[in-house]
Amino acid sequence: MPSGARPARPGVGGAFRGAAGPGCDNGAMNERGPIESWLSDMDGVLVHEGHAIPGAAEFLDALRSSGKPFLVLTNNSIYTRRDLSARLGSLGLRVPAEAIFTSALATAAFLAGQRPEGSAYVIGEAGLTTALHEAGFVLTDLDPDYVVLGETRTYSFSQITRAIRLIEAGARFVATNPDPVGPSMEGSLPATGAVAAMITRATGVAPYFVGKPNPLMMRTALNVVGGHSESTAMVGDRMDTDVVAGVEAGLETILVLSGVTRSDEVERFPYRPSRVLDSIADVVPLVGA
């Protein structure tokens, strides 16, 4: 059962009658104006296991020709936006670097607002170190304001030990995203949330997670596109990150079933997306609407 799921079927008594299923609309939620700007998750929506999902290229083409602002949002903090733009391009998906927003960028924006020209000890890859540098942070292991943990494929015992000692000495603990595992072609990989749990276990200090499902990521993205919550849609494949963060940020939410969520899992959650569609191909007609 997914986290946040309810053991009993909701809707008994009719409060949730007409729960969203594939192709169904949540009528009350759709009494909104037209969608003027778009946010979209990446994995499970536009790409899946190294392939473009059918309809993704058409969705991006429709956005471009509509002139509506959009951002591709990802909790992946390994890559810079230029890296991700190139990776998507190699799959036939044209997304300019400026239209990509990662949990690393959200974390850097958050920290720059909290403590301008602050300092951080970083465990992470270029996506995170570049974002923090560009936000005016100094990266150091000498008395930093923050320990910032992101995703990496080369976690080292000495780095984790250093992070633990700095937190014990008073550094604040921030992490890009809470995901415990990430996908790879060979199977699951331990991700930021799993390593954060190890540091928390050792220090007794829990991190502040900036990425999805923190609605801060959505609100920061809204500011980046210059959008308003009531006229912005979020497309995602996860109920417990994309949809809940979109709901909390006041967005229209569209769940697609091309990623990790099956249609029979949707109504187990205490929150619902505005729409449930099979894939991004079904979202294309909504772009011009």
Q: Catalytic amino acids? A: 41, 43
Identify whether the C-beta of residue 253 lies closer than 8 Å to the C-beta of residue 40.
Answer: no
Helix (H) or strand (E) holding 159: helix 157-168
Residue 240 annotated as part of some ligand binding site: no
User: What is the footprint of Mg ion within residues 49-78 (CB under 5 A)?
Assistant: none
Segment contacting Mg ion by CB under 5 A, of 40-48, 83-91, 146-154, 273-281 = 40-48
Nearer to Mg ion, 172 or 212 (CB): 212
Is position 237 an interface residue for Mg ion (rule: CB under 5 A)?
yes
* Minimum distance from residue 211 beta carbon to Mg ion (Å): 12
- Identified binder of Mg ion from the candidate list 37, 44, 103, 106, rule CB under 5 A: 44
* Minimum distance from residue 159 beta carbon to Mg ion (Å): 27
The overall longest dimension of the chain from CA atoms, in Å, is 59
Is position 43 an interface residue for Mg ion (rule: CB under 5 A)?
yes
- Identified binder of Mg ion from the candidate list 20, 38, 40, 41, rule CB under 5 A: 41
What is the chain's alpha carbon radius of gyration, rounded to the nearest angstrom? 19
Identify which of 40, 5, 2, 1 has the alpha carbon closest to the alpha carbon of residue 269: 5
Q: Concatenated DSSP letters for 53-111?
A: PTTHHHHHHHHHHHT--EEEEE---SS-HHHHHHHHHHTT----GGGEEEHHHHHHHHH
Nearer to Mg ion, 10 or 183 (CB): 183
Unique residue bearing structure tokens 């299923």:
21
Nearer to Mg ion, 41 or 252 (CB): 41
Identify which of 125, 164, 157 has the alpha carbon closest to the alpha carbon of residue 141: 164
Residue 212 annotated as part of some ligand binding site: yes
Residue 237 annotated as part of some ligand binding site: yes
* Minimum distance from residue 255 beta carbon to Mg ion (Å): 10
Nearer to Mg ion, 53 or 175 (CB): 53
Q: Token pair of 224, please?
A: 């980046």
Q: Token pair of 286, please?
A: 């909504």
Q: Which residue is nearest to Mg ion (CB)?
A: 44
Segment contacting Mg ion by CB under 5 A, of 2-10, 17-25, 208-216, 237-245 = 237-245
Give all strands of the β-sheet with 146-149 in edge-to-edge order: 138-139, 119-123, 146-149, 172-175, 208-209
Nearer to Mg ion, 100 or 135 (CB): 100
The annotation places the binding site at 41, 43, 212, 237
The annotation places the binding site for Mg(2+) at 41, 43, 237
Binding stretches for Mg ion (CB under 5 A) = 41, 43-44, 237
